[in-house]
A = this chain, B = another copy of it.
Amino acid sequence: MTSQTIISVDAMSGDHGAAVAVPAVAAAAAAAPHLRFLLHGDAAVLEAELSRHPAARAACTVRPAERVIGMEEKPAQALRRGKGSSLWNAVEAVKAGEAAAAVSAGNTGALMAISRLLLRMIGGMERPALVAAWPTMRGASAVLDVGANVDCDARRLVEFAVMGAAYHRAALGSQRPTVGLLNVGSEDEKGHEEVREAHRRLKEARFGFDYHGFVEGTDISLGTVDVVVTDGFTGNVALKTAEGVAKFVGAELRAALTSTLLTKAGAVLASSGLKTMRSKLNPASGAPLLGLRGVVIKAHGGSDAPAFAAAVKLAADLAGKDFVDGLRRDLERLAPAVEEPSRDAVAGGAVERDERDQDSA
């Protein structure tokens, strides 16, 4: 019993809601018997889904939540009106110490805002970073930020390096990750001021990873480094561009392989190989929100059950590994670089304080 790990699951959000979340939890429970689950959502819906997975029933506690945050709601709206929703409650259970990690396939902006409000950031951080586990020629690399922080100064990029290395160590298995900074060339004078300054700081500092220097877009899929650091604008574009290219290649491949009777026959014979490739191109793991004082995993909104189950497994992996405390120690070693909180952080802090007051009232 002492080795139980409790995962808090927003079981109603995402494109498929409970129809995906509950079977995913059942699969995760079967694979890892030490896991227990808090399922947040409409009790009747969840009980109905759970009745189809009797083996998992005992591992699950249903926590009624009165509403679901829509995929289109703005973060500010979600903060104002999200209390009592399945997403809010899933994160709140981590804050209350009832669960070791939270998982949601819901609205990314809402999950980020609510997690930041309830769990708060590790000192010096402003907003969580989103990391992608990117399939490469050599395995998988962590790429961050892929969307949360559009404007990044040098300090933020250095923080991403530290967080990405910690994530790669905990989730992707390296002992001493190599880290590269995404740029348009490899020479010191390439790129804009922020990347050049971050490059100088990373070259001088001694962290628990090896700084490789600048890398370029091609290096991501080649797996040149374990961790690719970039601002949230560039990272988001790179990730979505890669998704688009993979879709395009898939469509071309289907067209090419079914253009003649001969290639069609070939495609049938080759299909098991093609299936292997597709599964590698669609890595099913969720993405942690890095920099929070707690483990929160964002599953893709369109996740199917295996993808959502992988996000649950990632939550359990990070929850069991002293991940947040380690990250906190690493980031606090960067503390001398902290001069003063930016205006955004101050404003965010004020909102957080207001909200926390309401919360505890």
Q: How near does chain B come to A269, taking the closest CB pair, in angstroms?
A: 3
Q: Are B256 and A266 interface neighbours, CB within 8 A?
A: no
Complex Cα–Cα for A177 and B241 (A): 21
Complex Cα–Cα for A83 and B14 (A): 62
A109 closest partner in B (C-beta): B185
Q: How near does chain B come to A245, taking the closest CB pair, in angstroms?
A: 5
Interface assignment of A207: CB less than 8 Å from any CB of chain B: no
Interface assignment of A98: CB less than 8 Å from any CB of chain B: no
Q: Are A263 and B269 interface neighbours, CB within 8 A?
A: yes
Q: Are B241 and A238 interface neighbours, CB within 8 A?
A: yes
A269 closest partner in B (C-beta): B266
Interface assignment of A354: CB less than 8 Å from any CB of chain B: no
Complex Cα–Cα for A272 and B257 (A): 8
Complex Cα–Cα for A144 and B218 (A): 18
| Stretch with Cβ within 8 A of B (4 or more), from A45-53, A162-170, A274-282 | A274-282
Interface assignment of A192: CB less than 8 Å from any CB of chain B: yes
Q: CB-CB contacts of A231-249 with B at 8 A, as 1s and 0s?
A: 0111011111111111111
Q: Are A217 and B232 interface neighbours, CB within 8 A?
A: no
* Neighbouring B residues of A191 by C-beta, 8 Å: 150, 233
Q: Are A270 and B281 interface neighbours, CB within 8 A?
A: no
Complex Cα–Cα for A262 and B271 (A): 10
Interface assignment of A137: CB less than 8 Å from any CB of chain B: yes
Q: Are B240 and A217 interface neighbours, CB within 8 A?
A: yes
In the complex where A217-B238, A260-B272, A273-B259 touch, is A245 in contact with B247 (Cβ < 8 A)?
no
Q: How near does chain B come to A287, taking the closest CB pair, in angstroms?
A: 15
* Neighbouring B residues of A222 by C-beta, 8 Å: 244, 247-248
Partner of A256, one of B137, B234, B276: B276
Most B CB contacts (10 A, CB to CB) among A192, A238, A241 go to A241
* Neighbouring B residues of A245 by C-beta, 8 Å: 221, 241-242, 245-246, 249
Complex Cα–Cα for A274 and B182 (A): 31
This chain's copy number in the assembly: 2
Complex Cα–Cα for A277 and B248 (A): 10
Q: How near does chain B come to A27, taking the closest CB pair, in angstroms?
A: 25
* Neighbouring B residues of A232 by C-beta, 8 Å: 184
* Neighbouring B residues of A233 by C-beta, 8 Å: 184, 191-192, 234
Interface assignment of A253: CB less than 8 Å from any CB of chain B: yes
* Neighbouring B residues of A220 by C-beta, 8 Å: 241, 244
Complex Cα–Cα for A259 and B244 (A): 26
Q: Are B192 and A150 interface neighbours, CB within 8 A?
A: yes
Partner of A281, one of B218, B252, B260: B252
Q: How near does chain B come to A251, taking the closest CB pair, in angstroms?
A: 6
Interface assignment of A104: CB less than 8 Å from any CB of chain B: no
Q: How near does chain B come to A136, taking the closest CB pair, in angstroms?
A: 7
Interface assignment of A332: CB less than 8 Å from any CB of chain B: no
Interface assignment of A171: CB less than 8 Å from any CB of chain B: no
A280 closest partner in B (C-beta): B252
Complex Cα–Cα for A253 and B150 (A): 34
In the complex where A276-B259, A281-B249 touch, is A147 in contact with B237 (Cβ < 8 A)?
no
Q: CB-CB contacts of A303-323 with B at 8 A, as 1s and 0s?
A: 000000000000000000000
Interface assignment of A66: CB less than 8 Å from any CB of chain B: no
What are 25 sample pairs from A and B whose C-beta atoms fall under 8 A apart?
A: A136-B248, A184-B236, A217-B236, A217-B238, A217-B239, A217-B242, A217-B243, A218-B240, A218-B241, A218-B244, A218-B247, A220-B241, A221-B244, A222-B244, A237-B237, A237-B238, A238-B241, A241-B245, A249-B249, A253-B273, A256-B274, A258-B273, A262-B272, A265-B269, A269-B269
